[in-house]
Each structure stands twice: as C-alpha cells, then as structure tokens.
Amino acid sequence: MKEIIRQYRQLRDEVDQLASKLSEVHSDHMACRKGCCGCCMNLSVWPVEFYSIVEEMKRFEWDKPTFNEKAACDFLKDGLCSIYPFRPIICRTHGLPLVYWHEETEPPGYGVMFCEKNFKGTDGIDFGSDNTLNMDEVNEKLARINLVFLDEQKYPSLESDTRIEMRKLLDYL
Ligand code: SF4
Ligand code: SF4
C-alpha cells in the first residue's frame, strides 16, 4: 500500500477511535441510531479519500452500490449506508459535537456544532477539548495528506486536484 494511503487510513482510524470515545462520553445526549439518516447528504471528497475508498472497495470485492436518486445521499439504501465500512471521514463524525473556527462571529472564535436531534436540554453541558472533536485539525491533516497524494499520484483517470463527488465511485468500481 502506498505510504500516503496508509497515512490517510491512519487518520481515519484516529477519527474512528475519537468518535467511538465521544459517542460513549455523550451517550445520554445522542439520538443517533441505526436507520436515522437525516445527516446524510451527497458529498464530495478529496482525491486521496476517493482513491482510498475505490481501492478498498475493489480489494474487498464489495458489491457495486446501486444509486438511490431519491435519497439525500445516493448511497442510502433503506435508511442505511450501503458503503458503511468505506464511508468518508466526515460521515464518521455525524452527530458528535464538532469544533470549527468561526471567522464570521464577533469576535471570531471556536464554536461547537452538532445535529439538532442531539444534545437537547443540555444547556449546562460544558464543551471543551476533552469532549469534542476539532474538525479544523482533522481537515488540516487531511488537506496535507491530500497534497502529498496529488504530488505523487499516478492513479489512471484521476486527474482532478479538486474535490470529487462520491457518486463518481460508480465510474471507478
Ligand atoms: S456515504 Fe453513507 S454515511 Fe456518508 S452520507 Fe452517504 S449514506 Fe450517509
Ligand atoms: S447525526 Fe442526527 S440525523 Fe444523523 S444519525 Fe445522529 S441523530 Fe440521526
């Protein structure tokens, strides 16, 4: 496996571990459950993530997904993600309290975002670095990995250095 893909998957594993820890910490305040898919939408991803997903799905001989054009995300099937083991990093953070830098607030600063179905009646919850996921840090690491990937990539037909719609997966499987 290419070193840079290994680094992407390491980041993905780190996010999975943090997501699992945070889901446990906040279990009393989260409504997330199997079949709830209000957070799903058609996404685009960086080429490194796209390539990694294609490579892994081919290696595991995953059934080519069929699109559900009526769903918010093409990959939703009966309310479930049909590419769940390979889903992008952002999908692994759904519902968690995510920290982003907000430039537009006065004064600019970090803010916490989460699904409106979660953390209801939790006015007193004290969000901090120990119980949130800093997505700016994750995205920065991902962007750096993607830059190295683009510099090295020799993947046929994957010429774009911009984000790629996940629905294009079908063209590569
Ligand atoms: S890829 Fe899967 S988890 Fe991500 S938005 Fe689509 S259906 Fe939801
Ligand atoms: S983030 Fe919201 S919409 Fe998505 S599974 Fe959790 S509760 Fe449902």
CA proximity to 69, closest of 77, 61, 60: 77
Q: Along the chain (173 residues), what's the average pLDDT of each consecutive run of 10 residues?
A: 93 98 94 93 95 94 85 92 96 96 89 91 80 97 94 66 89 87
Whole-number pLDDT of residue 161: 66
Whole-number pLDDT of residue 156: 56
Among protein residues, the one whose CA lies closest to atom 2 of ligand 1: 81
Whole-number pLDDT of residue 122: 62
Q: Which two tokens stand for residue 105?
A: 């607030």
DSSP secondary structure string, 106-155? Answer: SS-EEEEE--TTSSTT-TT----TTSSEEHHHHHHHHHHHHHHHHHH---
Among protein residues, the one whose CA lies closest to atom 1 of ligand 1: 87
Whole-number pLDDT of residue 159: 58
Whole-number pLDDT of residue 158: 60
C-alpha 30 – ligand 2 centre gap (Å): 8
The answer to whether 78 touches 36, Cβ cutoff 8 Å, is no
Give the largest CA-CA distance in the chain: 52
Whole-number pLDDT of residue 29: 92
All structural domains of the chain with their residue ranges: 3-172
Whole-number pLDDT of residue 106: 87
The reply to whether ligand 1 has any atom less than 6 angstroms from the CB of 76 is: yes
Whole-number pLDDT of residue 53: 96
Among protein residues, the one whose CA lies closest to atom 4 of ligand 2: 39
